[in-house]
Structure 1
């Protein structure tokens, strides 16, 4: 005899919408991380790799912090906004992205 359980469906009717929203928020916040603080040496290394990538028009792999999560994408740096302290990047899909230097965690030269 096989037991056919309805899973979460049987509990849905007993949960209030506020409770469902709170549970979803708890799950979303469970994997958030605090924004890391880079030391001077790490910042200099990021700047060196970015400068090298700009000179050679190399594709770079950017890892940055956004709203509690690490995100990664590839692109080529085509400019720097001095006022905003941000990089102007053309990503692998051809979209223009502006990324704050303060949000950068790691930059590597891509393949």
Structure 2
């Protein structure tokens, strides 16, 4: 069976505009919808967040951001009720603000 290069072999025969449209379509395929959490999952995440914050334990948080799921590890330094977010300080001393509504999962290390 021969190995086909797909659309790559035809890209030299395409107009640059067509190549750009193909790249945009491929990016569109990579987008992820935000998962819906049921109330029980939200309650578990909330309890784990509070435990990790009070015990100052390291956590790994998965959150939805810009049509993708991102992951960060660090220590929760603040629960900001006014912004409805947490402030996470990573191992390299960077601070990240993560809204509560964007958190998908939380693992306490």
Question: TM class by shorter-chain length?
Answer: 0.7 to 0.9
> Structure 2 regions of 5+ residues with no counterpart?
1-5
Alpha-carbon separation, structure 2, partners of 1:85 and 1:16: 48
**Which structure 1 residue ranges, 4+ long, deviate > 6 Å from structure 2?**
7-10
Say what the alpha-carbon RMSD is for the aligned residues. 2.1
Note closer, same or farther for the CA distance 1:82–1:93 as it changes in structure 2 (3 Å cut): same
Equivalent residues in 2 for 1:1-111 (5 A)?
11-110=10-109
Deviation of residue 59 (structure 1)? Answer: 0.5
> Structure 1 regions of 5+ residues with no counterpart?
1-6
Whichever structure has more helix as a proportion of its residues is 2
Q: TM-score, normalised by structure 2?
A: 0.84
Aligned length: 105
Q: TM-score, normalised by structure 1?
A: 0.82
Highest CA radius of gyration, 1 or 2? 1
